[in-house]
C-alpha cells in the first residue's frame, strides 16, 4: 500500500513538472537583443539616485549594448551619472528603446523647455549643518523675525 502511494505521488509530481514546463515554453519569449542596440534600463532597484523617488523616471537610458552574456544578461555602456552602478543587467529589467518618429511628430524636437530665471530679493543665510546637509534661512524685506 505504501509503495502504491509513493508511485502515485511520483507520477503526480512528474505530471505537474511537465505541465509547468509546457506552460513556461508557451508563454516565454527569448529576447532578441543584439550588440550596439539601444535599450532602456529599469530604475526600480537603483537606491541611491538623488531627488524625489516619486518624480524620478522609471527607465534610464538609452544605452548601447556592449556585450551579451548568455540569454539572461546584458553588458551596457553606462553614462557618467550611473558610473557607480554595475554595467551588467538581467534581461528582466531591460526594455528596447524606440526612438520617436519625426515625420509623425514634427514638433517634438522643436519644443524647448525654457524656465525664466526668478529674481530673489531676499537675503539668504546659512544657519546650520545637520547630518551633512546645510540649511538656509531666507529673510524677506518687510517681515519681522
**What is the model's pLDDT at position 103?**
74
pLDDT for 19 equals 96
CA distance 142 to 145: 10
For the chain, give every domain's residue range. Answer: 38-96
74 beta partners? 68, 89
Q: pLDDT tens digit string along 68-89?
A: 988 889 999 988 878 888 889 9
Q: What is the pLDDT of residues 35-59, one digit of tens each?
A: 888 999 988 877 766 677 777 778 8
Higher pLDDT, 96 or 51: 96
Phi, psi of 129 (to 5 degrees): -115, 125
Amino acid at each position: 500500500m505504501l509503495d502504491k502511494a509513493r508511485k502515485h505521488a511520483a507520477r503526480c509530481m512528474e505530471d505537474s513538472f511537465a505541465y509547468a514546463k509546457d506552460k513556461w515554453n508557451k508563454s516565454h519569449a527569448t529576447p532578441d537583443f543584439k550588440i550596439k542596440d539601444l535599450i532602456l534600463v529599469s530604475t526600480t532597484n537603483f537606491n541611491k539616485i538623488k531627488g524625489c523617488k516619486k518624480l524620478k523616471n522609471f527607465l534610464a537610458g538609452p544605452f548601447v549594448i556592449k556585450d551579451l552574456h548568455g540569454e539572461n544578461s546584458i553588458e551596457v555602456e553606462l553614462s557618467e551619472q550611473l558610473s557607480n552602478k554595475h554595467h551588467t543587467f538581467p534581461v528582466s529589467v531591460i526594455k528596447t528603446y524606440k526612438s520617436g518618429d519625426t515625420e509623425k511628430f514634427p514638433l517634438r524636437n522643436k519644443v524647448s523647455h525654457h524656465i525664466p530665471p526668478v529674481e530673489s530679493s531676499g537675503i539668504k543665510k546659512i544657519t546650520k549643518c545637520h547630518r551633512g546637509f546645510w540649511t538656509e534661512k531666507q529673510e524677506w524685506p518687510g517681515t519681522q523675525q
